[in-house]
Structure formats: C-alpha cells, structure tokens
Structure 1
Amino acid sequence: MSVIKPQSDSESRTPRGVDAPSTSDPVVRSLSFAIGGPLGRHANDPPRRRFWAPTRVVLLSAIVMAALSWLQKYPCADGGWADFQQYTQYCYSDIRALWGAERLDQGAIPYLDHPVEYPVLTGYFMGIFGLFSYGVLGAAGGTVYYHLSAIVLLILGVVAVAGLLKLRPGRPWDAMMLVAAPAVLFTALVNWDWLPVALTMFFMVAFARGRTVTAGILWGLAVAAKFYPLLIAGPLLLLAWRYRRFRAALVTVGVAAATWLVANLPAIIWAREGWYRFFELNSERGIDWGTSWYIVRHFTEPGDPLNELLGTIPVLNWLYLVAFVVACVAIAWLTLFSPTPPRLAQVAFLVVAAFLLTGKVWSQQYVMWLIPLAVLARPQWRMFLVWQVGELLYFFGFYSELLTVSSSNDNPAPVWGLVIPEWVFIAASLARLVTLTMLVVAVVRDVRDPSRDVIRSFYGTDPDAGLLLPASGPETVRAGKPLPDRSPRR
C-alpha cells in the first residue's frame, strides 16, 4: 500500500484543519504574489469570526457568476434571433428554443400532449414554468418562461456550489474552481443541467454523511432529471466490493431505483408514448457534432466502408457501446486492483468522462456534468485550466461551425459573424478531446500513486465514501468540520 507523504513545511504553516491554496497549489501560489504572496507564518491563527470567510466569498462569487451567465444569454431571451444572433452572440439556449418546439406556447402538457426528449423531472420542470407562463401571457409568454426557468436554474447552480462546499470542509477554495470555470459561464443556461447537477452534489453530500436513504432519494431524482448520474452506480458498487461493505451501497441504489420509478410512474401510466420518446431518440440519433466519431468520420471519404458503418445507426450504437464497455472494464480493473482504493469522486469522474469520450453525442452543455466531478476528483488548477481552455476553444468553434453551415447565398452570415472551414472545427473538437484525456490521465496517475492526491493527503481517507469506509463511516463530513489529520507523522 502506498504511503501518503507528510505535509511540507509550507503546508504546515496553514491554519489547522484549513487548506490555503496559495501554499498548496502552484498556480494559485504564483498568482498570489500580485496581492502580497502566499499565506505566511503569522497567519496560523486567523480570527474565528469574520464576515469575509472563504465560504461566504465563494457563495457570493457564485451569485455574481450566475448573474453574468444570465447576462451572457440575455440577448437571446426574446427568441427573435435575427441575423443568426444566437450564434454570433453565443447566446443560444434550448430553454428558449423549445418554448415553441415542445408546444409550450400552446399550453401543451409535456408527455401527455407532446412527447419530450428529456427525462421526466426535466419535463416536469419545463411543464410547470411553461404552463404558468402560458396561463399568464398565452403564446407571448416565451420570454417570461425563459427568465423564470433561468433564475431557478441559476439558484440551483449556487446550491450545487454549496453542496461542493459541504463535501470539502477545510478546503472551501476548491469550490471556486466550479464557480470560476469559464465553461460554466457560457453553458450554464444552454439546457436544464443545473437541476441534475445540484441533485447529484447533494446526493454525494448525503452519502458522505452516511444518510443512505436520503442519498438514494436525491440520486433517484437526479437520474429522473438527466441520465448521467446513473453512471455513478458502477463506481459505488465497485468500491463497495473493494471495501467488502455492501449494505450502504445496496440501500442507496435500491432507494434511488424506487425514487426514479415513482417520479416516472405518472408519465408511464398516462403518457407512455410521450415518456418513451427520450429512450427512442437516444437509440435513433446519429453522430453528433464534435464527438470522437465525428472526428473519425471527417478523415474518411464518402463511400469508404468505415464511413458507411458510422452512418448506420445500429452499427454506430454497437460501436460506441463496445468502446464505452471497454473503457469501463479498464476503470473497474483500476478500481479493484490499484494499490489503494480510489476515491468515489475519482472513479465517478473517470466513468462520466469515458461516457463522453466514447459517446456518439457530446453536447456543449455536457461539460456541466464533468466540472463538479473534476473538482472533487482533482482540485488542482493547472490541468483544470488547460482542460477549460480546450472546452472554450470547442465552444467558440462550435458556434462558428453552426453559423457556417446555417448561412447560404440566400441567407448569408452577417459580416461580424466568424465563418470557419471544417478543419478549424475539427481542431477545436480535438482540443476538447485531448485536454479532457489529459485530465483523465492525471486522475489515473493520482489513483495509482495516492501521494499525488491532494484530497487524500489532506483528509487521510476518502471524504466522500461514507459508510463504505470500514473504520470511519459517516464521520467523513460532519458539522462542517474536516477529518482529523490521519497522515503519517515524521
């Protein structure tokens, strides 16, 4: 078993039980010289009561970033979208676009009156605000519908940040990575993803505290909002097997399954065809923009056998399923046979990242799934920022690609619109794929060598594992206090 290295001299100068990023993270340390340098020796005993505590700073910053996200999408709120405004101003949002596409402008009830392409909790969310806006303003209620949805989603975003703070007592500045992530600013309101992200964060909080029933309920609701939280089931069960502690995992999975069923039952009973549309659409979809399969197809010629195979939906479904299964087998091997059991957040991040890297659909807003897990798995700024640069390159490349393919001689792009050749979009897609792969490799290295893992070094254990840990149980997070230092002494 690997030995965790003891704290360095700089780390030992931090306040007891609280991490100071200026002494533990090279990027923050370098930036800190602009405001006086890293935390010094005489900061060992900061005032116990002060308004500008780290948690307040992080939450206030989250509110400011939420406001900026709202402003970033504001030009598209009215739905007019003249002269490709949604692409040239990077403000496209499914929330506004589907006001008409899902017949919410006609007072349609999701699933019952019109099939919905999302899981039921997202559909219910759409329906509640859609019916309210239609009831107040009729077909003209689209702008009200968008703003109501956006405000509630951004509140959920702040809630997700609060959940991350609860998962990392003693390391409140880790949550600033989620707050300050550039991709969050541009994609927070592209879709309804803050809903499942917030539920997933508090599922992990409840599980870390040993509240398996509460965790199961929150997890089931998260899966009822979007598919991706279901992917955490594999990591949870694998770690339960590694620790030989099954009860907490099985209770959580069982309660989650029951909660998901209860949430879906109304749509299954009264609107089965509309409810089934989500599953049908995912089986029918072809290669989406920017995926690894899109890149592969770009380098084939029409008529080539591989090009033809990738254009055949049943074959494509099998190809990406096999690729994902192979990746999951590799992650399972790493989980079961690494020298030290990996942390739950590390394995969850690897599985969700593998799902996106091998999948046939990789929508721009899916980065919202990964960022909180990346922060929990590896809260180090350098590689995180490299990945975020890759995401931003793809974001801007994607909108330019949409502008390019949407414009024509009869409807040209405006002069200020950036029209790009296909190879530029492929390069941006490769940047996203490569930088995420680099982050995956970094997490794998942390698993193989736990002395590199800053979370395990700080807590001495996995703070997210809850009752899976044989000797600690729900003490991993309790009353907002960090674990006692369990690292070996000199």
Structure 2
Amino acid sequence: MHPTTSHTPPEPRRGPVRITVPSRNDPLLRRLVEVLGGPLGRHTDPGRVSPGFWTIERVLILMTTVAALAAVGAKNMCRTQGWGGTNSYIWACYSDWPALFHARGFAENAFAPFAAGAQFEYPVLMSVVASLTALMVVPGDYDRSLAFFDLNVFFVAALWIATVVATARAAGRRPWDAALVAVAPGMILASTINWDLWAVALLAFAVLAFARNEPFLAGVLVGLGMAMKLYPVLFLGAVVVLALRTGRLRPLLATAGGAAASWLAVNLPFMLSNPAAWSHFWEFTRDREAGLSSLWHAWNVAAAAVPGAPQLSAEFINSAAFWLFLLSCAGIAALGLAAPRRPRLAQLLFLIVAAFVLVNKVYSPQFVVWLIPLAALAWPRWRDFLAWQLAEALHFWAIWMYLYANAADIQEQHTFPTAFYVLAVAGHMLATAYIMYRVARSMLHPEEDPVRRVGQDDPQAGPFAGAPDRFTLGGALGALRERAGREPRGGA
C-alpha cells in the first residue's frame, strides 16, 4: 500500500498558439515593411500553420550567424594588423583575449590562473573557460594569440545563437522578439571583447528554465553564471519581489538553493586548494579604481578639467555605488509591489541589472551585452531599442577614441575631445535610463505593455503563473489605514 500524497493536477497540454507577428505588432516595423509589401495579412495563422523548413528559430539562427560574421569583420583590422600599439584604439577593434593570452601567462601555461602566485582578475568558472581555450592553442611558430582570439570568437558565436534561441523560447507568443538579440549593434560591437557572453547565455537559460517551472534548475544555471560573472545573482532579486507579492516562497527557496549549490560546487575546490588565487578576483574588485565609462570615471575626468573640483577615491566610490544600488533595489521592489498587476519577471530583472550597470564603479564596453536579452523580453519595441543601441554604439566609439587620444603621441588639436567622451558616457546612461522608464511605466500601466497586449500575462512567470496577490503596498497601506480607523481615539 502506497502512502497517499497530494499532487497538483498537471495542466492540459496546449496546442500550437498564434504567434505575434512583428510587422503587425510593432509600429516601427509596420512602417518599414511597406517597401516589402506591407505587414503580414490578418487572416494568416502564424504558429499554427507549418512554415516549412524556415521555422522562426532557423531564421533567428541565420540572422545571428550573419551578425556574428559582422562582429568578426568589426575586429578584422586588428586580426590582420595586430593588436599592438594604438591599433586597437584607432580601429575600435580592442579585445581582451589577445592581450591576456600573453599578459596573464596563457602562452606559457594554459592553466596559468590556477598556478601559484597567479593574479587572474576573473571568477573561477571564467578562469576554467579561459584555460581550456588556451589549452586548444597548440605550440607552434604562428600567431598563437590570434588563434586564441579566433577560438574564443567561435565559442561566442555559439553562445550568441544559444542565447537567441533561449530568449525566443522564453518569450511565449512573441518569439520574434529574440531578433533584437540576434542583430543588436551592441552584440556586434562588444560581444568579442571578453568572456561575458558565457554568463549572458547561462542567465538566458536560467530565465527559460524558470519559465518552464523549473526553479531549482534555474538556480543551478544562475549559480554557474555567478561563477562566470557576478551579475546573474541579481536574478534572485526579481524572484524575491515575486515571492513577496504572491506569498509563494518555495520557488524562491528552490532557486536560491540551486544557485548556492552550483556556485559552491564550482568554487569550493579552488577556495580550498588555492585560496590566494581564488581570492584575487574579490580583492581586485574591491580595490580597483573607477573603470572606464562608469559614472564615477566620467566625474573624475570632468573634474580634472575644473580647478578645485574634487576627485572621487576608490573608497568613496565603493560606498556610494553600494548605497545607490541598494536604494535602486528598494525602489524597484516598491514599484513591483505597488504595480496594479503582478510585474513580469523580465521587467524586474532588467530594471535590477540596469540599475547595477548604471551605478557600478565599472562599466566595461561589453557590459551592454548583459542588458540586451533582458531588454528584448522586458520592452520589445524596435524604435526604443534601436535608439538605445545607437547611443551605446556612439559610446563604444567614444571610449576607444578617448583612449587613443591619451595613448597617441600627437598634437592636442588633433586629438579626440575629452568633453565628447564625457557626453557619450552621459548619453549611454540616459538612453539606458529611458528604457528603464519605459519598463517601469509599463509596470504601472499594464495596458501599455507590448507583451501583455497580445493576450499573455507573463511568459517567464513559471511557478508564479496565475498566482493571486497576497501582499501589495496598496493593500498593506489600506490595511494600516483600516486598522488605524478602528482604534479608539483618546480624549481629554
């Protein structure tokens, strides 16, 4: 005799659903496709009628492949002329990979990050990826740093495709929104700078796992992403807000438990075997000065041109960045709890990561790739997305021209104006803040949300799907007012 257990009855298997067509749904694309014959007809049935060989995912993969080739082309001057001197600045083709191959000892020892006295400024799993890639560069009389670059580009292209597919599958009735990730200028320009796309892909699959009601698996992927780059841990912040609003704590515990388990499984062996090398990343992060293109670096650059203006120290920046991010998270949580409808996971996650990017003391050029898949799910509007990406592209070029002006031995009147670099930093921050505004507004006005306007609630909700509100700020304030009204008032 088996003990009786209570199970939630499985949801009935759904048939094919009607897919949202970008040329009909997006105002910008609707106008642009007029030259191709106009939007898809209203009597078509996309998603329910077989498209033949060219499925949505295959088209997206083709688009991503073309964009990846463009990304290689953007680095071609450095691939052919070398990364030395000011080449990587004047041609805007800089990449960390060739520089780190020699500077961090990969040329002599593929596992240099784990050697005694190693100082590799990246988390453990990224160190593993870098070492395994370096191991594939066999000794020989050829440009091994170029081979290291090309191998990393190959992996980045595969990760890019994987991210696009995961985003399409997590988007519910709007899989074409993944095209934003496939052709984003920020991906073309910045994906081949560093290993960030490993963390981006892991977070994209974590969102997909959560959407498919697998919170523990989502947590495992988040933990692996944290071992690549710390920012995937911010996924837990979005889950916290949804757990508070719905009163469902089990998804939060499962996600956090999976993240802790996978992060410890990767990090613990290195913490015990080589604590000095393991801790170098944390010490480097704590002690480094403000990074290029951050709010704080732009302030110091501008202050240097003004007599008597204060320069911000690393200690002040660490403290200010922490408190600003904490306040931002509190504001996002309040917004999520005050919104008239339960906010979507992607909306919360984008706002949290974008806030981190804006106030963090480092903004490397490749950080834009963190936001692109999240923006595609949070606010899939082509006009706003492309305007934001244009600002990021201008900022991308401004960084390298600023570095070229400071590195090249040329006359001052022929250099890049520093003021334009500061303005470009301000421009990319304002453009990111604008997308944040649109996302926040769509939370307060759900009828403006492109995702909800096509008849779906939250494709990424997973275990929170269909959950009623148990706690909202409006409800809490109403309860306090009602309690205050029932209390007897004392009189003289």
Q: TM-score range by the shorter chain?
A: 0.7 to 0.9
| Partner Cα distance (2:441, 2:460) in 1 | 19
What's the counterpart of residue 208 of structure 2?
A: 205
Query: 1:79 Cα shift?
Result: 8.1
1:285 aligns with 2:288: yes
Does the aligned pair in 2 maintain the 1:216–1:255 contact within 8 Å?
A: yes
What's the counterpart of residue 435 of structure 1?
A: 431
Going from structure 1 to structure 2, the CA distance change for 1:266 and 1:389 (only over 3 Å counts) comes to same
What's the counterpart of residue 467 of structure 1?
A: 463
Structure of higher CA gyration radius: 2
What's the counterpart of residue 159 of structure 2?
A: 156
What's the counterpart of residue 475 of structure 1?
A: none
Residue identity in the other structure for 1:211: E
One of 447, 453, 457 as aligned partner of 1:457: 453
**What TM-score does the superposition give when structure 2 sets the normalisation length?**
0.87
Aligned pairs for 1:267-346 (under 5 A) are 267-300=270-303, 307-308=310-311, 310=312, 312-346=313-347
User: Any idea what SS the aligned residue of 1:105 has?
Assistant: coil
What's the counterpart of residue 420 of structure 1?
A: 416
Query: 1:96 Cα shift?
Result: 1.4
| Partner Cα distance (1:382, 1:143) in 2 | 37
What's the counterpart of residue 372 of structure 2?
A: 371
Does the aligned pair in 2 maintain the 1:75–1:89 contact within 8 Å?
A: yes
Query: 1:292 Cα shift?
Result: 1.7
What's the counterpart of residue 443 of structure 2?
A: 447
- CA displacement 1:263-282 (0-9 Å, x = unmatched): 11222122211111111111
**What TM-score does the superposition give when structure 1 sets the normalisation length?**
0.87
What's the counterpart of residue 24 of structure 1?
A: 25
1:57 aligns with 2:53: no
| Partner Cα distance (1:419, 1:246) in 2 | 57
Residue identity in the other structure for 1:360: K
One of 62, 65, 68 as aligned partner of 1:66: 68
User: Any idea what SS the aligned residue of 2:136 has?
Assistant: helix
What's the counterpart of residue 392 of structure 2?
A: 391
Does the aligned pair in 2 maintain the 1:195–1:225 contact within 8 Å?
A: yes
| Partner Cα distance (1:347, 1:16) in 2 | 26
The number of equivalent residue pairs is 450
Query: 1:132 Cα shift?
Result: 3.0
Does the aligned pair in 1 maintain the 2:78–2:93 contact within 8 Å?
A: yes
Going from structure 1 to structure 2, the CA distance change for 1:182 and 1:303 (only over 3 Å counts) comes to closer
User: Any idea what SS the aligned residue of 1:37 has?
Assistant: coil
Going from structure 1 to structure 2, the CA distance change for 1:173 and 1:302 (only over 3 Å counts) comes to closer
Does the aligned pair in 2 maintain the 1:112–1:270 contact within 8 Å?
A: no
CA RMSD of aligned residues (A): 2.3
Query: 1:29 Cα shift?
Result: 0.5
User: Any idea what SS the aligned residue of 1:106 has?
Assistant: coil
Residue identity in the other structure for 2:253: L
1:358 aligns with 2:362: no
Query: 1:71 Cα shift?
Result: 2.7
| Partner Cα distance (2:86, 2:159) in 1 | 30
Residue identity in the other structure for 1:179: A
What's the counterpart of residue 109 of structure 2?
A: 107
Does the aligned pair in 1 maintain the 2:83–2:98 contact within 8 Å?
A: no
User: For structure 1, which runs of at least 5 residues remain unmatched after alignment?
Assistant: 1-14, 473-490
1:76 aligns with 2:72: no
Residue identity in the other structure for 2:149: Y
| Partner Cα distance (2:394, 2:78) in 1 | 22
| Partner Cα distance (1:380, 1:160) in 2 | 19
Aligned pairs for 1:187-198 (under 5 A) are 187-198=190-201
| Partner Cα distance (1:295, 1:125) in 2 | 32
Query: 1:427 Cα shift?
Result: 1.4
User: Identity across aligned pairs (percent)?
Assistant: 34
Does the aligned pair in 1 maintain the 2:302–2:422 contact within 8 Å?
A: no
Aligned pairs for 1:136-147 (under 5 A) are 136-137=139-140, 141-147=144-150
Going from structure 1 to structure 2, the CA distance change for 1:58 and 1:128 (only over 3 Å counts) comes to same
Relative contact order higher in (CA < 8 Å, ≥ 6 apart): 1
What's the counterpart of residue 479 of structure 1?
A: none
User: Any idea what SS the aligned residue of 1:401 has?
Assistant: helix
Query: 1:32 Cα shift?
Result: 0.8
One of 246, 268, 273 as aligned partner of 1:243: 246
What's the counterpart of residue 4 of structure 2?
A: none
Going from structure 1 to structure 2, the CA distance change for 1:301 and 1:146 (only over 3 Å counts) comes to closer
